[in-house]
Amino acid sequence: MDELHADTWLISKGRPQGLGEPLNVPPVMASNFRLPHERYYSRTEGTETQGALEELIGGLEGGRTLAFSSGMAAVACLFHGLAVGSTIALPRDPYHAVNGLATEGEAQGRWSVRRLDLADTAAWVSAAAEADLLWVETPANPLMTVADLPAICAAPRKPGCVVAVDGTFATPLLQRPLELGADVSMHSVTKFIGGHSDLMAGSLTVRDDALYDDLWNRRVRNGGTIGGLEAFLSIRGARTLGLRMERAMANAQTLAERLESHPEVAVVRYPGLPSHATHTNASKFMDGYGAMMSFDVRGSGERASRVVEHTTIINNATSLGGIESTWERRALIPGQETMPPTLIRFSVGCEHVEDIWSDITEALDATSGA
Ligand SMILES: Cc1ncc(COP(=O)(O)O)c(C=O)c1O
């Protein structure tokens, strides 16, 4: 990434440079281009807007990026490149759509899945000798476990075994998996990189040219290429990622500490708390603890529902990583029924921390005894 700091890179790169050109690459809304030209169709070569987004993310991560129409389009592109009969190592509680994809492929006989405790590094190290894909989601959604990525990446591997990391919660600002030895870094750009809950997008970043070409070709065939408007909005969001993360992380740390000592809260899972089971991994392998947490309220699942419905600043909504705070009772999301009934997943936004805190305490007070 040249010698620039990441924040500067995000603000200054991916811009047209010629005299008289606009400062921002415009949203190129075209499916096809006049020939002869190397770019002829948007699903194949993409648009200039897509190229600028890929330059931004790739520079941060230290690799070549492919942008997709969603995070899951990116994940599916990678999984569907596995040879029939492959083995995938997966965390026990991965993002639920990834779990669905893996389970479906297993049922169809495409691959077999080994489910491992993300915090059990030894299990991942031994899986590397037998698996074709290690899918490491870190920090994990929504239990916030942070893996020992360098140890997992350094494990002796079966030839051809790929280590892929879903770092959506961390963003490339806080965690750069390729630098830690992974082969693929994946993001749901829908979340923090986009940052405004107004788009769907995903990315895969790799260093290996053969893997890049393989993914590029499969993206063409699967049709997961990002649209021009989504690429434009992703770039616009990414410009302020540094600023947003700084504020949201400071808010998250304060709120996690206060929640942890609140009598109506049973447990708080935030990697920035010394009490968190994988706090040490987060301190060693991340450049900040992020803006995601989950916590359990005391009482029943119904009480947790009433808490998330009570607030006026924090939105009761799924998804995460927006400038606005969102939270949800995770066990109500299809595919997440195994989560503790009282668990609230909280994406901390950039509002004033005292306003968020008042919103939370009012909701806890109003529902106490429920
Ligand atoms: C950790 C994680 N990975 C992947 C995804 C999928 O991304 P998308 O919704 O952009 O397809 C999500 C979405 O919530 C996620 O939280």
Judge if 248 and 300 occupy the same domain: yes
Query: What pLDDT score does 14 carry?
Result: 95
Distance CA 33, CA 362 (A): 56
Question: Which ligand 1 atom sits nearest the alpha carbon of residue 202?
Answer: 10
137 lines ligand 1 (CB under 6 A): yes
Query: What pLDDT score does 370 carry?
Result: 67
Query: What pLDDT score does 140 carry?
Result: 96
**Sequence-distant (≥ 6) Cβ neighbours of residue 169 within 8 angstroms:** 138, 139, 140, 141, 144, 191, 192, 290, 292, 320
Complete DSSP assignment for 166-209: E-TTTHHHH--TTTTT-SEEEEETTTTTT-SS----EEEEES-H
* Sign of the torsion formed by the C-alpha atoms of 224, 230, 236 and 237: negative
58 lines ligand 1 (CB under 6 A): no
Query: What pLDDT score does 1 carry?
Result: 61
Domain tally, the chain: 2
Judge if 251 and 307 occupy the same domain: yes
Judge if 217 and 362 occupy the same domain: no
Question: Which ligand 1 atom sits nearest the alpha carbon of residue 75?
Answer: 4
Judge if 45 and 110 occupy the same domain: yes
Half-sphere exposure (Cβ direction) of 325: Cα atoms closer than 13 Å: 29
Judge if 85 and 190 occupy the same domain: yes
Judge if 215 and 321 occupy the same domain: no
Judge if 248 and 228 occupy the same domain: no
Judge if 137 and 253 occupy the same domain: no
141 lines ligand 1 (CB under 6 A): yes
Q: Are 326 and 318 in contact (CB under 8 A)?
A: yes
Write out the two tokens for 4.
């620039």
Question: Which ligand 1 atom sits nearest the alpha carbon of residue 141?
Answer: 1
Distance CA 11, CA 6 (A): 9
Q: Are 330 and 308 in contact (CB under 8 A)?
A: no
Q: What is the dihedral of CA 357, 361, 366, 370, to 10 degrees?
A: 120
Domain boundary among 238, 262, 297: 238
Cis amide prior to 341 (ω within 30 degrees): no
Domain boundary among 238, 261, 286: 238
Mutate to test the pocket of ligand 1, among 68, 174, 191, 333 (most ligand atoms within 8 A of CB): 191
Q: Is the residue at 1 inside a domain? A: no
303 C-alpha to center of ligand 1: Å? Answer: 27
Judge if 62 and 91 occupy the same domain: yes
Query: What pLDDT score does 2 carry?
Result: 60
328 lines ligand 1 (CB under 6 A): no
Q: Is the residue at 266 inside a domain? A: yes
Query: What pLDDT score does 173 carry?
Result: 98
Write the CATH number for 357: 3.90.1150.10
Q: Are 120 and 91 in contact (CB under 8 A)?
A: no
Q: Is the residue at 211 inside a domain? A: yes
Residue 207: how many other CB atoms lie within 10 Å: 16
Domain boundary among 238, 254, 287: 238
Average pLDDT for runs of 10 along the chain of length 370 = 88 96 97 94 97 97 98 98 98 95 98 98 98 98 96 98 98 98 98 98 98 98 97 98 98 98 98 98 98 98 98 97 97 90 98 98 91
Closest alpha carbon to 62 in 168, 146, 214, 185: 185
Range of the domain at 302: 242-367
Query: What pLDDT score does 321 carry?
Result: 98
Q: Is the residue at 223 inside a domain? A: yes
Closest alpha carbon to 281 in 123, 129, 163, 170: 170
Strands 202-206 and 326-329: unpaired
pTM of the complete model: 0.97
Distance CA 171, CA 186 (A): 10
Query: What pLDDT score does 349 carry?
Result: 98
Distance CA 228, CA 226 (A): 7
